[in-house]
């Protein structure tokens, strides 16, 4: 029913911000100024009502919607849309005071006191009841208002900086039920979790308890299932919120995700929402240059786009600095436009901010905002916001309706994330960072990449890259086998295919032994004393992490170790299989190796970027297209000017003129070039 009945978002790029007028209701001159400055800045939508529960339900059952009605109405009159939030991001003191059960219990069995945010127990019946009541009231009141264009369900679910999970008796009970449904019998569960180890065999469902430092913390199967349950349970809560607002409203629903946020399996979540939105806070200016951070932001955008293979909204970003890092650096001139357009380049149909106006008190008062405490419109930052507003308005007609498309998919899988970082052995791995390292050279070459989990539909892709795919979901090996058989190219690394979906090790052989054409034996992790290199295409590359020790079977050896007792052993293999082929990267190396390998791979597979130009270091390009045109977003992340050489003529949609030969790009800048068929 959902996707059939939901309206669509307006057909233009959005420029908006989280708006908290409830903090200023006694300052009408502030609310007045807000509207004035929003119009000046080209703001065409706001996110309203996030954290407003206290103001909407003053006490149990005593609702107060008038202020919100006024705001929505006034915004609407000024041509500013409202994305309306359900207020469950934080619960009011009166609720937890009356019903302690709505508060989370931590892994030590201790219930939190009231406070903070995202502080509710998703298993509490009282919490569910009160959530349904306020959500459906809100929907009834505003769900058909012409100014309201979408629902913003709660806020950054799970994002309380402590723990996304609750260990209260309700949640224990729900967990056990979930396990019963999954495993049917205790025997199955005992087998899947390998509970004969350390005498952990359960004889009654009631013996099962969530993982805890106080108790069970070694049964990987339990820990993995708990993480699945936590994501599932919170999603179940979200689905009940969705149902509540849909009772009276046909507006599309979203929730603001957080990119690489480990506790929630966003691929599962994406299915339940009408469109994806997310909050984007790259750590700009924190390193010697911006390249790694920019590539990671590109990966996060691509991940969010991949959830539905569709455009999304960037629901939050900061116009300047954040306030929660150890060091909070101001965005340098140009960076606000550049990072906003990076989002657009990778599939966002909006640039939205947290926050419109800095709050006066409490813990986010120094977070960046379009409007600061003291200077009104008279700030550098407000100027930057106005500029973005203007640019979005100018490019909207070109951009809206296009999306990014890729021939290459990289596998990023939440369940693998949980499993591979919980491994006890070899050495601690940071899956996200490793993944981003394997993504980086594509970003550098300006090659669009889709990101999918193991359950994705791979039929559109030519190449699949699956780094550190330690755990294989059921059916994954067969799917890859088919993919390669049919002509696909599969690239994977050491420490993949080790365990199944309950973290039981595969016996006998690597599940893709035939496809990869190798036999795996050992995995070495070393300190500095065991320096090693890999030889590839005549060049030596430094080994920087794990060292898989493997034996070639049907594969060709493309690179080998230079030292140690596995000197001469394969470090990279290629195996022809069916109509396709499969690569195995046994050694973790410096990134230069990856770049060289990817270049060779793209050449071999004919899967290059497609942009007719030469990019200097720190300049990349991303493409959005529809059936009629391509838009190339050229991005210069250098702190100085850079020159791009064009091999053909493009049309700069902002300058509204043809460009050819060379383009001189300003520091931290983005140029958008149109390529029309045949041009």
Active-site residue set: 156, 316
The phi and psi torsions of 342 (rounded to 5 degrees) equal: -60, -45
Structure tokens at 99: 């019903």
**Pick 113 or 647: Cβ nearer a second copy:** 113
Residues 625-654 contacting a second copy, CB under 8 A: none
Q: Does 108 bind a second copy (CB under 8 A)?
A: yes
Query: Could you say whether residue 180 binds a second copy (CB under 8 A)?
Result: no
**Sign of torsion over alpha carbons 647, 652, 657, 663:** negative
> Which is it for strands 148-152 and 253-254: parallel, antiparallel or unpaired?
parallel
* Secondary structure of residue 424 in the 3-state scheme: coil
Q: Which of residues 583-602 bind a second copy (CB under 8 A)?
A: none
497: left (phi over 0), alpha (psi -120 to 50) or beta: left
> Min. distance of Cβ 458 from a second copy in angstroms?
26
Q: With binding defined as CB under 8 A, does residue 364 bind a second copy?
A: yes
Tokens 């308005």 belong to residue:
393
- Smaller CB distance to a second copy: residue 461 or 476? 476
Closer residue to a second copy, CB minimum distance, 92 or 270:
92
Interface positions, 333-362, toward a second copy (CB under 8 A): 333, 358-362
DSSP bridge pairs for 150: 83
> Is residue 313 within 8 Å of residue 8, measured between CB atoms?
no
Taking CB under 8 A as the binding criterion, the range among 76-84, 110-118, 291-299, 302-310 that sits at the site for a second copy is: 110-118
123-156 burial, b at 16+ Cβ within 10 Å, e below that, comes to bbebbbebbbebbbbbbebbbebebbbbbbbbbb
Q: Tokens representing 608?
A: 């290059």
Is residue 503 near a second copy by the rule CB under 8 A?
yes
Interface residue with a second copy, options 3, 28, 507, 538 (CB under 8 A): 507
380: contact with a second copy by CB under 8 A: yes
Select the span of 31-39, 173-181, 514-522, 572-580 touching a second copy (CB under 8 A). Answer: 514-522
132 binds a second copy (CB under 8 A): no
Q: Which two tokens stand for residue 215?
A: 């108790």
The backbone torsions φ and ψ at residue 91, rounded to the nearest 5 degrees and listed phi first, read -100, 145
The reply on whether position 116 binds a second copy by CB under 8 A is yes
Three-state DSSP at 74 gives helix
**Two tokens, residue 212:** 């805890």
Site membership for a second copy, residue 124 (CB under 8 A): no
CB contact at 8 A, 71 and 21: yes
Q: Which listed residue (188, 375, 540, 679) binds a second copy by CB under 8 A?
A: 375
Distance CA 125, CA 117 (A): 19
Closest distance of CB 518 from a second copy, Å:
12
Binding of a second copy by 508 (CB under 8 A): yes
Q: Which letter, b or e, does each residue of 58-81 get, where b requires 16 or more Cβ atoms within 10 Å of its Cβ?
A: eeeeeeebeebeebbebbeeeebb
Residue 216 sits in the site that holds a second copy (CB under 8 A): yes
User: What would the two tokens of residue 333 be?
Assistant: 């001139």
Task: Give residues 247-306 in contact with a second copy (rule: CB under 8 A).
Answer: 285-289
65 sits near a second copy (criterion: CB under 8 A): no
* Binding residue (CB under 8 A) for a second copy from 196, 486, 540, 662: 196
Peptide bond between residue 126 and the one before it cis (omega within 30 degrees of 0):
no
# residues contacting a second copy (CB under 8 A) = 115
- Identified binder of a second copy from the candidate list 32, 79, 177, 324, rule CB under 8 A: 324
197 lines the binding site for a second copy (CB under 8 A) = yes
| Pick 107 or 652: Cβ nearer a second copy | 107
Applying CB under 8 A, among 7, 36, 365, 474 the residue interacting with a second copy is 365
Residues 406-435 that bind a second copy (CB under 8 A): 423-428
Q: Is 367 a binder of a second copy (CB under 8 A)?
A: yes
Query: Could you tell me if 456 and 494 are in contact, meaning their C-beta atoms sit under 8 angstroms apart?
Result: no
176 interacts with a second copy by CB under 8 A: no
């Amino acid at each position: 029913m959902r996707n059939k009945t939901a309206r669509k978002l307006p057909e233009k790029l959005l420029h908006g911000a989280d708006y908290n007028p409830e903090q200023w209701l006694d300052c009408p001159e502030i609310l007045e100024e807000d509207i004035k400055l929003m119009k000046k800045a080209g703001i065409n939508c706001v996110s309203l009502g996030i954290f407003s529960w206290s103001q909407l339900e003053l006490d149990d059952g005593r609702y107060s919607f008038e202020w919100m009605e006024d705001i929505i109405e006034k915004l609407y009159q000024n041509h500013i849309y409202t994305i309306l939030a359900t207020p469950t991001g934080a619960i009011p003191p009166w609720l937890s005071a009356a019903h302690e059960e709505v508060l989370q219990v931590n892994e030590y069995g201790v219930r939190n006191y009231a406070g903070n945010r995202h502080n509710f127990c998703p298993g509490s019946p009282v919490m569910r009841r009160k959530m349904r009541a306020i959500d459906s009231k809100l929907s009834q009141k505003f769900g058909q208002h012409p100014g309201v264009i979408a629902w913003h369900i709660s806020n950054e679910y799970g994002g309380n900086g402590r723990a996304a999970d609750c260990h209260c008796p309700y949640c224990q009970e729900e967990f056990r039920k979930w396990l019963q449904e999954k495993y049917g019998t205790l025997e199955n569960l005992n087998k899947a979790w390998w509970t004969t180890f350390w005498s952990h065999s359960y004889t009654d469902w009631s013996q099962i308890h969530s993982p805890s430092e106080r108790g069970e913390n070694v049964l990987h199967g339990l820990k993995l299932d708990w993480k699945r349950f936590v994501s599932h349970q919170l999603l179940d809560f979200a689905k009940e919120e969705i149902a509540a607002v849909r009772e009276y409203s046909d507006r599309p629903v979203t929730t603001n995700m957080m990119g690489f946020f480990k506790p929630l399996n966003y691929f599962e979540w994406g299915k339940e929402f009408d469109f994806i939105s997310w909050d984007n806070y790259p750590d700009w200016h924190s390193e010697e240059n911006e390249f790694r951070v920019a590539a990671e932001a590109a990966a996060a955008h691509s991940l969010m786009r991949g959830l539905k293979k569709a455009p999304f909204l960037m629901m939050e970003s900061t116009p300047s600095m954040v306030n929660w890092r150890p060091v909070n650096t101001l965005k340098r001139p140009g960076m606000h436009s550049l990072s906003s357009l990076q989002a657009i380049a990778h599939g966002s149909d909006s640039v939205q901010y947290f926050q419109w106006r800095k709050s006066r008190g409490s813990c986010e008062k120094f977070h960046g905002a379009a409007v600061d405490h003291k200077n009104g419109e008279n700030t550098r930052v407000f100027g930057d916001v106005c500029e973005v507003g203007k640019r979005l308005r100018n490019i909207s007609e070109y951009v809206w309706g296009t999306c990014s498309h890729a021939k290459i998919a990289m596998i990023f899988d939440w369940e693998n994330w949980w499993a591979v970082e919980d491994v006890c052995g070899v050495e601690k791995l940071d899956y996200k960072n490793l993944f981003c390292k394997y993504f980086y050279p594509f970003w550098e070459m300006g090659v669009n990449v889709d990101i999918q989990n193991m359950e994705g539909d791979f039929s559109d892709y030519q190449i699949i890259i699956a780094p550190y795919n330690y755990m294989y979901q059921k059916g994954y090996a067969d799917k890859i086998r088919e993919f390669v058989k049919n002509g696909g190219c599969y690239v994977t690394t050491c420490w993949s295919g080790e365990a199944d979906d309950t973290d039981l090790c595969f016996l006998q052989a690597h599940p893709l032994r035939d496809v990869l054409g190798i036999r795996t034996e050992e995995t070495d992790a070393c300190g500095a004393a065991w320096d090693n290199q890999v030889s590839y295409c005549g060049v030596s590359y430094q080994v920087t992490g794990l060292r898989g020790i493997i034996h070639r079977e049907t594969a060709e050896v493309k690179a080998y170790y230079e030292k140690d007792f596995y000197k001469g052993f394969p470090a990279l293999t290629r195996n022809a299989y069916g109509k396709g082929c499969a690569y195995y990267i046994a050694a973790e190396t410096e990134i230069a190796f990856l770049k060289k390998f990817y270049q060779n791979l793209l050449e071999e597979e004919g899967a290059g970027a497609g942009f007719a130009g030469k990019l200097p270091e720190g300049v990349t390009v991303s493409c959005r297209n529809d059936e009629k045109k391509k838009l190339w977003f050229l991005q210069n992340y250098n702190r100085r000017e850079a020159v791009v050489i064009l091999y053909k003529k493009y049309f700069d949609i902002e300058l509204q003129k043809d460009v050819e030969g060379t383009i001189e790009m300003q520091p931290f800048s983005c140029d958008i070039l149109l390529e029309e068929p045949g041009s």
